[in-house]
Amino acid sequence: MHQGQITQADVGHKGTQLKLMLVLDNEQKVVFKPAWYSRDYVVEGPPYAGRDRHNAEIAAFHLGRILELRRSPLVVGRKVNLLKDIFPVASDRLKETFFRKDKAPCFYGRCHYCKGPEDGVCAGSDGILEGVLVLWIPEHYHLKLHRHPWARTYREGKMARWETDDTYCAKVRAVPGYSQGPRLLDIVDTAVLDFLVGNADRHHYETIQEGGRDAALIILDNGKRIRASLWQRLLALQEGVLSHVLASILDQDPVAPVLTQPHLTALDRRLGKVLDQVGTCVDRVGIKAIVLDGNSRKDSGDSGIS
């Protein structure tokens, strides 16, 4: 993505996490998500605990390309100078949220929990804040939000229907929207991606007209079917190929190194688990029932987002 000058900066207006809306000097609109954690910081608690990790956005974008899913908008790491690159072009409502902490510039913007300086994010003493740029999907795509059929309840001790009802998958498959077309296999595609990157926070997903974009790792245990193209791809990435390919791509990012060695090792390990899981199903009921040729994205009109 374009690394040029930032011409406008405003508070983010969607979602719960703190983010900025930026316009670059070639008119590209992008979301800026700041870094909260160092590369090797381990978030404790439930699988969805903590804030989103900016480096994970970069890794997931490239992983999606390697898996040939191509259904996420472009992501690239970026270091911004809060005082030189952002403040001078900031909207008034963003400017109002700037403050200083131990001499470093900070802001708290506007988001679900961003009530004041205690929820803000700070640059280093040099004014530099690392984060990622995510290309904004233009409004004319009309994103449609769907509740994820395999979402968590996010409440300790409260189980979701898919956790207690063995026939839940069949019920979802009877629902218009899932009974035909690519949607369910899209969810499986992204379930694999989410499992590989450790994203356990897929409560909703969005589609662009016909096409799906997001999903939850949990489907892996329930969906039991996988698109042939993804299965072939996963097989080709065994034995360390995945981490090797991804690491060499991530080396090119402006905020490299994006992942630590333990992250890369975990990716190969999780890929092994996905292959084992699908392999077990194949052994049990045969490849034809599990690995599906039909319903490919291409048959049903790709969103064209890559």
Does the active-site annotation cover 85? no
Phi/psi of residue 286, each to 5°? Answer: 95, 150
Look at residues 91, 89, 131, 122 and name the one whose alpha carbon lies nearest to residue 5. Answer: 89
The verdict on whether residue 252 carries a ligand-binding annotation is no
DSSP state string for 16-71: SS--EEEEETTS-EEEEEE--S-TT----SSTT-SPPPHHHHHHHHHHHHHTT---
Find the shortest distance in angstroms from Cβ 13 to ligand ATP.
8
**Residues making up the chain, counted from first to last:** 306
The verdict on whether residue 221 carries a ligand-binding annotation is yes
Q: Is 31 in the site for ligand ATP (CB under 6 A)?
A: yes
Pick 23 or 241: Cβ nearer ligand ATP: 23
Dist. CA 3–CA 25, nearest whole Å: 9
Look at residues 144, 136, 145, 143 and name the one whose alpha carbon lies nearest to residue 10. Answer: 136
The verdict on whether residue 33 carries a ligand-binding annotation is yes
Sheet holding 104-107, edge to edge: 98-101, 104-107, 121-122
Pick 137 or 226: Cβ nearer ligand ATP: 137
Give residues 68-127 in contact with ligand ATP (rule: CB under 6 A). 73
The verdict on whether residue 206 carries a ligand-binding annotation is yes
Find the shortest distance in angstroms from Cβ 65 to ligand ATP.
16
Q: Is the peptide bond before 257 cis (omega within 30 degrees of 0)?
A: yes
Site string for ligand ATP, 1-30 (x = CB under 6 A): -------------xxxx-------------
Could you identify the residue written with the tokens 């011409």? 7
Q: Tokens at residue 283, please?
A: 């052994």
Pick 204 or 244: Cβ nearer ligand ATP: 204
Question: Binder to ligand ATP among 34, 52, 59, 249 (CB under 6 A)?
Answer: 52
Pick 37 or 136: Cβ nearer ligand ATP: 136
Q: Is 134 in the site for ligand ATP (CB under 6 A)?
A: yes
Where is the binding site, in residues?
17, 33, 52, 206, 221
Site residues for ligand ATP per CB under 6 A: 14-17, 31, 52, 73, 134-137, 143, 206
Which residues belong to the annotated binding site for Mn(2+)? 52, 221
